[in-house]
Structure formats: structure tokens, C-alpha cells
Amino acid sequence: MLLVPKRLNGFNGVGWGSKASMSLPTGPTYNEIQLVTSLRPEQIRQVNVVLNGDNIVQVSGEQLVMMEQYKGHYVQEASFDGSGNLTKSGIFVIPFTNPTAKNQTGAYFGGLVTLQGENITLEVEIENGSGALSLEAISYQAPAQEKRIFVPRIKTHIFQANATGWNDFTTFPASADVSIRRAYFKGSVNRLIVERDSVVLFDVTKVAQEFQQSRVDRVPQSGYFVLDPTMYGFEQADVLNTGYRSEFVFRAELENAASVPILVESVKQVEPFGKG
């Protein structure tokens, strides 16, 4: 059995309006971490995974739910009886990998490889509230690896759109080391073009994109335009590499002039293949 579920140590500092945290054991490869909790999505302000001082994951509870729903994965939210007692814990998945990829290589691609001596922290920022509160974590681990080739990232970038109609986002931190798995544009995006060095890589309307995603068992999310180069199931082969010579551009047609948060699932290559 390659993938082993394992309960993690308890969080420190669990409480309303606080930041709960734990140090993750080093050595294994983390495919995903599940937060098992009485918290509802809107009560999780932000989840952080910090690798040697680098915040590689910054995502809210609502974003975690949205990503899982888009991928067609089962989502479990906390439920309570009439007296307010917890009857079923909610489970929030921090997805370093995608378990429903079409092959094992793809399903394990992007796992968080950890090495001895590293400092890795999991943090959960909790909104203010009242009543009983529970929070624990389970990891799904693959075997240890001798080196880390890719680092998974889930972070939000802000697209400053100053006009209705077409707007260009040219400040995404693109490089030959960074590949996009999925990008969730939150806002009134009617059409999206991706260009690299004046070559069009992607050009589709929201209507056409959602139709195609529905065909392959993705679930379009209200209020989002999802750029998903891996939607056909090839999680490693179909990533969108952002390397460029002159310019890498997201060009979006918007109904309204407003900032567009873009939640990006990506991987960054930090070591070449074959290096000892």
C-alpha cells in the first residue's frame, strides 16, 4: 500500500479568533492533509503551510471547499443537532495531489516531499465565534524520497482590472520553473486568453469552458472562471508551463471593472530530474 493515512499530532492554540498551529513530521511525502473539525467553511479565515519560512499554501476554508467541488470530489461539512451538538465533523482537504488523476504518476504528482531537518508548519487561522470547537488533522502519506524536485503551491494573486472589457494581467510570477495546474478567476470573466511571447495558448469563453469541463466530470463553480489545463485527467503531462522570453499574459474580458482574485494551484521545479 503506497498511500498511508496517518493521524497527525494535535494543534497548539486552538480557539476562537486564534491561529492554531502544528509542526509537521519530516520524512514522508504528503499527498494531502485533511482538517477534521467542527468549523464551517466561513469560520476558517486562512490555512497556511509554511516550508522553511516559505508560505507555499495560503487558502481559506471556502476556497478549499470550492476546489474540491470543482474537481467533483465529495465534500463533507460539519452538521449539528437541534441543540447545537456536533453530529458529524467537517473535513477540509489541503490537496497537494489529485487522487482522481488518470494514472498513478499523475495522482502522486505534486506531493509535498519533506526532508530531514526541515521546518514545516501547518497553521489554521480561525474566525471569532463561540461554543465548542474541535480541530485535528489526518495526513495521507506516500513513501519518503531522497530529493524534492517539485514544490506544490496554492496561493492567490490579484488581477487589477481597471476597465470593463479587455484587461491584461502581466505580473503573474511566471518562469520556466513554474507550471499551472488550475487557476480559479473569481469575478465576471466572460472570456480568457493566455498568451506567451505573442503566441495564443488558450482562448475560450466561459460558456464554452464550462460545457467542456462538465463533459469531463468537472463541476463549474458559480462566480468563477476556471482555467484547467489538466481537466482531462493528465495531472502531470498537461500542466501549463509559464516560461517565456518576452511576456506571459492573462487577457480577460470582464463585465465589470473590479479586482479579480486568482487562486492558483501550481508546482515549482526546484531541482532538475536526474540530479543526484
For residues 17 and 107, membership in a common domain is answered with yes
Share the mean pLDDT of the chain.
96
| Domain hosting residue 75, numbered range | 4-146
* CATH number of the domain where residue 218 is located: 2.60.120.730
Q: pTM for the full model?
A: 0.96
pLDDT at 105: 87
* Contact of 69 with 61, CB cutoff 8 Å: no
- For residue 232, the surrounding DSSP H or E stretch is none
Q: What distances in angstroms separate CA 60 from CA 24, 66, 260, 276, one per listed residue?
A: 20, 10, 16, 37
Decide: residue 159, CB within 10 A, 0-12 exposed, 13-18 middle, 19+ buried.
buried
Q: Note the pLDDT tens digit of each residue in 124-170.
A: 999 999 988 999 999 999 999 999 999 999 999 999 998 999 999 99
Verify that 128 and 198 share a domain, yes or no.
no
Indicate whether 274 belongs to any domain: no
> Coil, strand or helix: which one is 132?
coil
Same domain, 132 and 217: no
**185 and 241 both lie in a single domain:** yes
Q: What percent of the chain has pLDDT over 70?
A: 99
Q: What is the pLDDT of residues 220-272, one digit of tens each?
A: 999 999 999 999 999 999 999 999 999 999 999 999 999 999 999 999 999 99
User: Domain check: are 233 and 250 in the same one?
Assistant: yes
Amino acid at 155: K
**For the segment 190-199, what is each residue's pLDDT rounded down to a tens digit?**
999 999 999 9
